[in-house]
Chain A
Amino acid sequence: MTDCEKCREMISCLIDGELSEAEQSLVREHIASCPECRSVYDAFSAVSEQMHEEEPLPDGLHEKIMSGIKARPKKKTGIVWIKYLSAAACLALVIFAGIKSGMLSPAENKVDSNDLYVAETLPVLDGRFTGQSGNGDKTTYTLAQNAKTRAAVSAETAEKLRTLLAPAEDAHSEYVVSGEADYAVSFDDGVEPDFVLIYIDDGRVYADYGNGAFAAAGSAQEIRDLLDACAGE
C-alpha cells in the first residue's frame, strides 16, 4: 500500500473493527513497514483507549433521573387545544362510526385521503380501518363498510367532544391498544391534534391521538350519545 493517507483512514476503520480480514492484513503489513503510519496507529489507539475510560456515575444522578421520570406529567391534556377553537367557526366533523358486531359484511369502502384528513403516519389499523395504500401523493385508507358518516357539527359540539376525550383525572398511564376502534374521529377545523381513535371497553373510554391510548374523561354513554347526535346534526 503506497497511499499513506488512505491507509490512515483504514487504520481508523481497523480500530473500529470495520475491516474485512483481507483489509486488516493489508493495513497491518503497511504499518509494519511504515513508521509514520505506525505512529498514527499508536496515536489513534491511545486516544480510543482513553475515550473508553468511563467515569463512575456521580452521586445522586440515578435518584435525580428517577425522580425526574416520576415527576413528569404523564401526557398532554386535551384541554389546552380547546382554547384555540374559534367559537364562530363552523366545523366539519367527520365521523366514521359503525356497529361493533359480527354482522357487518366484509365489503369495504375506499375513502379518499383528501376527505379524511388523516395523518399519513397513522398506523394501519385493524377492524374498521382495514388498510392503507399509497397512490402518488395520496394515501387511501380503507374502511369497513357502513363505517362512514360525515357530519358537520358546531364548534360547541366539537369542544364538548374534545372535553370528553381529554384524559380522565385518574388517567396515569398510556395503553397500547390493538384491534378494532369503535370510532375514528377526524376534525378538520385545523386544530391539532385532529384525529383520534376511540375505544370503548367495559364502559370505559380510551382515546388514542396517535401516541398511545389513555383513559378519557367522558363515559362511554356520554361519548356514544354525543357521536350519535353528531351523526344526526
Chain B
Amino acid sequence: MTEVSEKKIIEKVLGGDANAFEELVLKYEKTVYNLALRMVGDRDDAFDMTQEAFIKAYGSLSSFRGDSKFSVWIYRIATNVCLDFLRSKSRKQQVSLTVSDDDDEDAQLDIPDPSSAPEQQLMQKMSMQSVEEGLKTLPDKQRQILVMRELGGMSYAEIGAALSLEEGTVKSRIFRARKRLCTFLLDSGNIPDSLASKGMKGGGET
C-alpha cells in the first residue's frame, strides 16, 4: 500500500466509508501490537492498548493532516496511549527516584520492588522476554523513543517532528536507552560475558 493509496483510504473513511478503515488496521495492527507490547510489557494490556490506539486514530482521523506518514501518526498515537496507561496505572509496585538526566530533563529511574520481582534471573541467553523486562526498567521517555525507532522504523527526524524534540535529543535518548538496556541485560546475565562486558561498564554511565 503506497502513501498515495493510504491517503485515498483516509479520504474514503472521512467521506463516510467506515469499512475502508479496516485496510489500515490490517496493515498496521501487528506492528502497533508489538510496539504496545514493548511499551507496557504485558500481553493483555498490549491487546487493550492496540484496540484503543486504533479507535483513537479512527476518531481523530480528520485531524490527520497528511504532512507526515500515516505510519508515523499511528505509532505516535499508540505510544501516547501506552504512556497514558502507564502513568495512570498505580505505581505502587515501584519505588521511584528522580535522577538528573544528562539532557537536563528529569527522568524517572524506576526500581522494581524486589518483593514483587519474579524469579527471572536465571535466564541463560537474551530472550524476547528479557528484552521486555529490560525495557520496563527504562524511563518512559527513553523507552518510547527506542520503541518508535526500532519497531516503528522511524528516523530521528521523524521522531523529533512527532514529539517536538531536537534530533540531537532523540539521538542521545536512543543511545542512553540502549546503554541502559544492555547494562540491565548484562547485570541479569542475559548478555553473555563475551559480549559487551567491558564496553558496557566503561565510562559515561548515566
Contacts and interface: CB of A to CB of B under 8 A. Distances in A.
Interface of A: 4-5, 8-9, 12-13, 16-18, 35-40, 42-44, 46-48, 50-58, 61-62, 64-66, 68-70, 72, 172-176, 211-212
B30 A39 contact: no
Contacts of B150: 48, 51-52
B174 A16 contact: yes
A52 B151 contact: yes
Nearest to B150: A51
Nearest to B58: A69
Given A66-B25, A69-B18, A8 B179 contact: yes
Contact of A12 (B25, B175, B203): B175
B55 A68 contact: yes
B75 interface: no
A170 to B, nearest CB: 12
20 contacts: A5-B204, A9-B175, A16-B149, A16-B155, A18-B156, A39-B194, A43-B182, A47-B126, A47-B178, A47-B181, A50-B128, A51-B131, A55-B33, A61-B33, A65-B50, A72-B58, A173-B15, A173-B17, A176-B11, A176-B14
A175 B62 CA distance: 9
B171 to A, nearest CB: 6
A36 B16 contact: no
Contacts of B30: 54, 56-57
Contacts of A53: 128
B196 A42 contact: yes
Interface of B: 11, 14-18, 21-22, 25-26, 29-31, 33-34, 37-38, 43, 47, 50-51, 54-55, 58-59, 62-63, 126-128, 131, 146-147, 149-151, 155-156, 171-172, 174-175, 178-179, 181-182, 185-186, 191, 194-200, 202-204
A211 B196 CA distance: 52
A56 B146 CA distance: 21
A53 B198 CA distance: 27
Given A12-B178, A35-B198, A69-B18, A58 B171 contact: no
Given A18-B171, A57-B30, A174-B14, A43 B196 contact: yes
B38 A39 contact: no
A164 to B, nearest CB: 22
Given A8-B175, A39-B195, A61-B51, A54 B156 contact: no
Contacts of A36: 198-199, 202
A13 B168 CA distance: 11
Given A62-B25, A65-B55, A40 B31 contact: no
Given A38-B199, A40-B200, A69-B25, 15 more contacts: A5-B203, A12-B178, A13-B171, A16-B149, A39-B200, A44-B178, A47-B126, A51-B146, A51-B150, A54-B31, A54-B151, A57-B30, A65-B51, A69-B21, A174-B62
B51 A68 contact: yes
Contact of A47 (B131, B197, B203): B131
Contacts of A5: 202-204
Nearest to A13: B171
